[in-house]
């Protein structure tokens, strides 16, 4: 059975250019921190990749810190900026985060509250998943260390006003961070223009390999390391460079950003077809996320099916050869409604009835049509199973 892959927000198939870049480096030897010829050749690949990635996201090469991926980058951004800012000014013990952040940010903030005495302030979202920056002005700010608001949400696709968040953080002397894992390669992202201090993104969400990502950090921003070792990456993130993965990362970023405008237009067309088809096939389905597609990621569709157990529907679609999700892949299997949908004011029952379909570079009109053909029966059977269970 040929499978239909509609879970690009969880991970995206590798682009051929990224595979080729990795293959070239996998057959070479040389630690990029070694001084001999092989080491210098490996280091050249790392630094050329750093320059290429920086150029694609509006950053300077020295601002690119390579990590193992989005989770590590988020931890380093939130914890590292909190520690360094508090060390410079002990009054700054508050962290401001939105209620719909990825758990890498939420749990980092929660850990700092429990272990370090941080005070966490939450930014609420409206029913479309959008934060309103006016909330920030009511918080005060002379004791805020770090503000973290994701560029685009991974479950409902809501694109947030990060420039306004960064401007407020700068006004009150706090550090600003955005998890842009879902944004880079899908919508325009310019680090310098954003005004942010820190920005997270990762390779496997945009056609690169697993296990490599980056934290963009302005040179003047002090960060306390969360791990220690050989002093690589400005003594902020130690560890041997994964040269092959970094090369694949760079190739993927270059292709994804170069094709971003055309690909965004293509995916928006598929998204409209999918939403219209769901509305026709399951008339009581309720879309979640921004009503205006300009405020949403081009390839994310989140829909609630009243009375339907989403886990059951997911497995029925899986049996039909269609890959989808009930939310973030990092919380798959967790028996509770999506924290994002609950934060948007949905009941737990509604949150448990919601499926996410996310499109990417391998998605086609045929994929959308296959889902639309299988979806009504999957929802019907999932609703029936729920009724019988009660």
| Domain count across the chain | 2
pLDDT given at position 230? 84
The alpha helices in the chain, defined as continuous H runs, are: 16-26, 37-56, 70-88, 103-116, 134-137, 162-172, 191-194, 243-258, 260-281, 310-319, 339-343, 348-351, 365-389
- Region 317-326 average pLDDT: 97
- Give the CA diameter of the chain: 69
What residues make up the domain containing 366? 4-12+260-389
Question: What integer pLDDT is reported at residue 233 of this predicted model?
Answer: 85
- The Cα 251–Cα 23 span in angstroms is 12
**pLDDT, mean of residues 305-329:** 91
What are 65-116's pLDDT values in tens digits?
A: 999 999 999 999 999 999 999 999 999 999 999 999 999 999 999 999 999 9
Q: Mark whether 170 and 73 lie in a shared domain.
A: yes
What mean pLDDT is predicted for residues 113-140? 95
Phi, psi (5° rounding) for residue 362?
-90, -5
Q: Is 33 found in the same domain as 123?
A: yes
Please tell me whether residues 270 and 215 are part of one structural domain: no
User: Mean pLDDT across the stretch 295-303?
Assistant: 98
Rg (CA), the chain: 21
CATH number assigned to the domain comprising residue 230: 3.40.640.10
**Catalytic center residues:** 330
Residue 277 and residue 192 share a domain: no
Would strands 144-148 and 175-179 be described as parallel, antiparallel, or unpaired?
parallel
Q: How far apart (Å, rounded) are the C-alpha atoms in residues 128 and 344?
A: 7
Q: Which of the two residues, 1 and 311, has the higher pLDDT score?
A: 311
What's the CATH number where 382 sits?
3.90.1150.10
Contact 164, 170 (CB under 8 A): no
Compute CA distances 152 → 51, 255, 361, whole Å: 25, 20, 18
Q: What is the mean pLDDT of residues 233-262?
A: 95
Do 34 and 107 lie in one domain? The reply is yes
The tokens for 76 are 């380093």
| pLDDT surpasses 70 at 334 | no
- The overall average pLDDT reported for the chain is 95
Residue 388: predicted pLDDT:
55
pLDDT in tens, 183-231: 999 999 999 999 999 999 999 999 999 999 999 999 999 999 898 888 8
Give the Cβ contact number of residue 167 at 10 Å.
Answer: 16
């Amino acid at each position: 059975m040929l499978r239909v892959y509609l879970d690009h927000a969880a991970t995206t198939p590798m682009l051929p250019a990224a595979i080729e870049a990795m293959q070239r480096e996998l057959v070479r030897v040389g630690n990029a921190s070694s001084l001999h010829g092989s080491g210098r050749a490996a280091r050249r690949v790392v630094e050329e990749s750093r320059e290429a990635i920086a150029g694609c996201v509006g950053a300077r090469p020295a601002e690119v810190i390579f990590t193992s991926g989005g989770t590590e980058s988020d931890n380093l951004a939130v914890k590292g900026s909190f520690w360094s800012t508090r060390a410079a000014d002990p009054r700054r013990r508050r962290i401001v985060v939105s209620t719909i952040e990825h758990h890498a940010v939420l749990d980092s903030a929660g850990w700092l509250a429990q272990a370090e005495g941080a005070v966490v302030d939450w930014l609420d979202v409206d029913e479309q998943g959008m934060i309103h920056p006016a909330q920030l002005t009511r918080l005060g700010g002379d004791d805020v260390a770090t503000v973290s608001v994701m560029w685009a949400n991974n479950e409902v696709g809501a694109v947030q006003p990060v420039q306004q968040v960064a401007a407020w953080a700068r006004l009150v002397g706090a550090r600003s961070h955005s998890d842009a894992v879902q944004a880079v390669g899908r919508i325009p992202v310019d680090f310098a223009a954003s005004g942010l201090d820190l920005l997270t993104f990762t390779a496997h969400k945009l056609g690169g390999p697993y296990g490599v990502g980056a934290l963009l950090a302005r040179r003047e921003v002090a960060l306390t390391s969360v791990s220690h070792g050989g002093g690589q990456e400005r003594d902020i993130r130690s560890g041997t460079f994964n040269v092959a993965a970094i090369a694949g990362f760079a190739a993927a970023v270059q292709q994804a950003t170069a094709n971003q405008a055309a690909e965004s237009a293509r995916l928006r067309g598929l998204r409209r077809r999918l939403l219209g088809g769901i509305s026709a096939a399951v008339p009581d389905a309720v879309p979640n996320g921004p009503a205006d597609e300009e405020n949403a990621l081009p390839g994310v569709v989140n829909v609630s099916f009243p009375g339907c157990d989403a886990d059951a529907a997911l497995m029925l679609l899986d049996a039909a050869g269609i890959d989808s999700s009930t939310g973030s892949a990092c919380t798959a299997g967790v028996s509770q409604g999506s924290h994002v949908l609950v934060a948007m004011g949905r009941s737990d029952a509604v949150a448990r009835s919601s499926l996410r379909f996310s499109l990417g570079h391998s998605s086609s009109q045929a994929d959308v049509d296959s889902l639309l053909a299988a979806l009504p029966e999957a929802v019907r059977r999932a609703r029936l199973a729920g009724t019988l269970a009660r």
